[in-house]
Amino acid sequence: MTDSVAVSGSLRNRLMLTLIGGAAILALLVFFAVRNYAVQLAQEGQDNILAASATSMLDAATFRDGVVELDLPYSAFSMLSTAADDQVFYAIRQDGAFLSGYADLPFSESQMFQTDQVRGSDVRKISVSRTLIGANSRTEIQVVLAQTQDALSETLDRISRNAALLGIGFFALAAALSFWATAATIGQLGNLTTSVTRRGPQDLSPFAKPVPREMAPLVTSLNSLMGRLDQSLSQSEDFIAEAAHRVRTPLATVRSYAEATLQRVDKEENREAMRSMVKAIDESSRAAGQLLDHAMITFRADHLELEDIDFVDLVHDLVQRMTPIAEMKDLTLTLKGDARAPFSGDPVLVQNAVRNLIDNAMKYGPRESSIEIEVTAKDRPQVTVSDQGPGFPTDEIEILTARFQRGANATDTIGSGLGLTIARDVAAAHGGEVVLKNQTGGGACVTLSL
Amino acid sequence: MRYLIALILCCLAQGVWAQDWEDQRLFPGASATTSLRIISSTDTDLFAPLIETFVSGNPDVSIEYFVTGTADIDRRFREIPDAFDIAISSAMDLQLKLTNDGYALALDNVPHPDWAEWRQSLFAFTAEPAAIVINRAAFAGVPIPQSRQELIEALRARPEVFRGRIGTYDVRRSGLGYLFATQDARASETFWRLMEVMGGLDARLYCCSGDMIDDLTLGKIAVAYNVLGSYAEARAESQNVLEIVLPSDFPTTMMRTAFVSKASRQPAAAERFIRYLVSYQSNPADGVRSLPSLQESEAGSKRAAIALEPALMTFLDTLKRNKFLTEWEDALIQD
């Protein structure tokens, strides 16, 4: 049963990997999107200021009597002040001829905004021009204005840092969420596994607890599998019960014929054969009886009918009924213990279980010995049956309650190996247990508690 | 004969060299291994205590200190950038333009307020308001003018007293004078009226604050406009004669600035000097300064100094400068 299942990959890992991988990609996308947008905005901001400044310079130009005057406004450069103290370069030209500023700053006809290099520094450059019209001539004033990008790159660094933090935060959150989502999803499978594991050995009823829709097909298949299993099990139980019943009646007939024949046969070797025959018939008959009992118990344990009864009365009744059989084998049954032990259970089952225990004790107890039956009701009702037989083989004490399992020292005694199994199943159906022990003075001691 | 020629040449060179500078002095370090060359517009007397403290704390450095006008500093520096390790000037606009044009070395992590430095290259270390300095004798029994407007009225009231006895910077020659004039002109129209009044009274034009204060102390002139009050205060002998008035209408406060040349051959020692200069001038607590500290301007927010920003370059524009000088000459020189 504990054979390892062939495992290929992990659903949890696959789910986590997919979710976290997705989160990482999204976080990267967020980072680059925010950063690109910020770069664009920051560049636009600088361009706007450069344009405003250059325009104010152009506006200050006047053309009078063929002479250009440009009264540079103080604000033109003032507005270019930045936190990073960016350098400013400019050049004013009239029809291409240099007027003032930095002569090494070329005017660009084609591009208004340019990223360029001036005196070893990266700058953003704007080139604008304006045509001035005088009385009988016209002239073009060109203004080139350039500013380094230290403040811009500081801003970008800051934004990049923030965007990175945003991305990392997003990723961490998404990773935590995917942990949670994975655990919640896999948890449902775990729940199902637990409820399958927790089931009693006989419980083959369908699962009634609601499960997520995706797991419904699995549970439906499981339920139908268990239904079929249950059906085939009960069929085979029925079959066994039927077979045992069919066998027992003819066996009784055969046994009575054999007994009768035994009386009439004189020859010692024939008598011996007949005795063996009777013994074998007894064994078969007993096995058939126990198989029937077991089938009955299996059925009743599934549909337990509880009644309030007194355990002492029940055992007392049983001992009275079994005393004649015991006397035939020269055994004494002694009942002792508490006066009353009320409990709630199925009397038929419990009586059957106790009878099997006493039966066992009578089987293994030597002639002219006594069997002690003690009923107590301390924390829970329990009956202890002790005999003076050989006791249990110590190395097999754990497995003796299994079906058809017999002790190594019981080969010459009639028995099916079902007695202890029946007692155990009854105890389990009532929430109790069967404990096997060997007495210190010799002999077996079986305690059935409910 | 050869010795004679050598001697003559030597003397000649010395003479030429000496004539080139308003002043020059060597501050030798006790165990000097490096030599810093500082070009400055600040009078040696005012700066000497500061350098002496530095040299005594850094005996491995000796300092050669050259004094010249602000415009001259700009010209010399642009000609030979590696001739000097440090440039100190009161003409903020020229200093800023030199920095903007890439002549200054950026120093990392100099502890200095943001408004007092530019590009971590140009460091302001004093705050000095432009003042009206008056010879008390000329105003005996008359209230001393406290603003430009009052000065205009006082000059108009007694033209006979002030004719030829008013002094101000010749802004064509002095970088600091040009800075003060342009900033005044930006602030108020009063400046132009004052210039016209001064022009009408045949104002005398000076290259430097020192000369103006000399003449003022001697009584050659009665009023000097836009002089550095710090220079007047530094003259002990003129304390009783002169009255320093900080115009109450609007202040014009200059910050003296320094930077390390990008072409400096001793950048480490130069940086050490700048750090020392900045921290020395930022802590007025430990003793009297020969130069006003930076903190004094920070405390009195009303006397906000001229901002260190690219806008200072506006009036250095050739077209703008020509226009301004034309207007200035029109107002002041009425021949």
Domain assignments of chain A as residue spans, ordered by start: 15-158, 200-303, 305-450
How many CB pairs (< 8 A) connect A and B? 65
Q: Is A100 on the interface with B (CB under 8 A)?
A: yes
| Residue A229's pLDDT band (cuts 50, 70, 90) | confident
Place of tokens 């440039």: B87
A287 C-beta neighbours (distance < 10 Å), count:
20
Lowest mean per-residue pLDDT among B16-20, B164-168, B244-248: B16-20
Residues B151 and B287 in one domain: no
Name every chain B residue with its beta carbon within 8 A of the beta carbon of A97. none
* Cα A390 → chain centroid: 48
Question: With contacts defined as CB-CB under 8 Å, which chain B residues touch A61?
Answer: none
pLDDT for B267 beyond 90: yes
Which strands form A370-376's sheet, in the order they lie side by side? A332-337, A370-376, A382-386, A444-449, A433-438
* Cβ neighbours of A50 in B, within 8 Å: none
Q: Report the distance separating Cα A34 and Cα A28, nearest Å.
A: 10
Residue B206's CATH number? 3.40.190.10
Q: Which of A428, A186, A409 is nearest to A297 (CA)?
A: A428
Q: Is B311 in contact with A75 (Cβ distance < 8 A)? A: yes
Residues B270 and B122 in one domain: yes
Kindly report the number of other CB atoms within 10 A of residue A244's CB atom.
Answer: 21
Query: Does B166 reside within a domain?
Result: yes
- Taking the alpha carbons of B266, B269, B275, B281 in that order, is the dihedral positive or negative? negative
Q: pLDDT, tens digit, for every residue of A388-414? A: 877 777 777 777 766 666 666 665 565
Residue B92 — very low, low, confident or very high, per pLDDT cuts 50/70/90?
A: very high
B171 and B267, same structural domain?
no
CA dist B216 and A98 (Å) reads 44
* Whole-angstrom distance, CA of residue B293 vs CA of residue A145: 36
Gap between the Cα atoms of B95 and B259, Å rounded: 8
Q: Do both B246 and B259 map to the same domain?
A: no
Is residue A99 less than 8 Å (CB to CB) from chain B? yes
Q: Indicate yes or no: CB of A74 within 8 angstroms of CB of B101.
A: no
Judge if B133 and B114 occupy the same domain. Answer: no
If asked whether residues B246 and B267 sit together in one domain, one would say no
Burial class (CB in 10 A: 0-12, 13-18, 19+), A73: middle
pLDDT at position A383 is 85
pLDDT of amino acid A1? 44
- Domain, as residue range, for B177: 129-252+318-332
Measured between CA atoms, the residue of chain A closest to residue B309 is A81
Residue B287 has a pLDDT of: 58
Q: pLDDT per residue over B276-290, tens digit each?
A: 999 888 776 555 567
Residue B140 resides in a domain: yes
3-class SS at B206? Answer: strand
Q: How many residues does chain A have?
A: 450
Of A72, A87, A89, the CB nearest to B320: A72
CATH number of A305-450: 3.30.565.10
Number of helices (H), then strands (E), belonging to chain A: the values are: 8, 14
Q: What is the pLDDT of residues B214-248, one digit of tens each?
A: 999 999 999 999 998 888 888 766 678 889 999 98
What's the pLDDT at B12? Answer: 47
Instruction: Label each residue of A262-293 as H, E or C.
Output: HHHCCCHHHHHHHHHHHHHHHHHHHHHHHHHH
Cβ–Cβ below 8 Å for A100 and B318: yes
Residue A139 distance to chain B (closest CA, Å): 17
Pair (B120, B143) in one structural domain: no
- Tell whether B159 and B106 lie within a shared domain: no
Pairwise CA distance, residues B136 & B151, whole Å: 14
Closest CA to A153 of A13, A38, A297: A38
A345: pLDDT strictly greater than 60 = yes
Q: Which amino acid is residue B307, in one-letter code?
A: A
Q: Which of A126-140, A174-188, B91-105, B290-304 has the lowest mean pLDDT?
A: B290-304
* B30 and B16 both lie in a single domain: yes
- In this structure, the answer to whether residues B11 and B114 fall within a common structural domain is yes
Q: Are B89 and B267 in contact (CB under 8 A)?
A: no
B312 part of a folded domain: no
Alpha carbon separation from A144 to A116, A151, A374, B319 (Å, rounded): 12, 20, 116, 15
Q: Which of A126, A147, A152 is nearest to A51 (CA)?
A: A126
The more confident residue out of A246 and B90 is B90
Mean pLDDT of B270-274: 95
pLDDT score recorded for residue B146: 93
Residue B32 has pLDDT above 60, yes or no: yes
Confidence of residue A426 (pLDDT cuts 50, 70, 90): confident
Number of domains, chain B: 2
Beta partners for B228? Answer: B130
The answer to the question of residue B37 being in a domain is yes
Q: Are A92 and A163 contacting, i.e. CB atoms less than 8 angstroms apart? A: no
pLDDT band at B203 (very low <50, low <70, confident <90, very high): very high
Judged by a CB distance cut-off of 8 A, whether residue A132 touches chain B is: no
In this structure, the answer to whether residues B121 and B134 fall within a common structural domain is no
Judging contacts by C-beta atoms under 8 Å, the chain A residues touching residue B318 are 99-101
Pairwise CA distance, residues B133 & B129, whole Å: 12
Interface contact B309-A89, CB threshold 8 A: no
DSSP state of B115: G
**Residue environment code for A174-202, b if the CB has 16+ CB neighbours within 10 A, otherwise e:** bbeebeeebeeeeeeeeebeeeeeeeeee
Instruction: Name the token pair of A213.
Output: 């829709």
The per-residue pLDDT for B15 is 43
Contact A383, A375 (CB under 8 A): yes
Question: Residue B301 has what pLDDT?
Answer: 47
Determine the 3-state secondary structure of B47 from DSSP.
helix
Interchain contact, A99 vs B186, CB within 8 Å = no
B243 and B266: one domain?
no
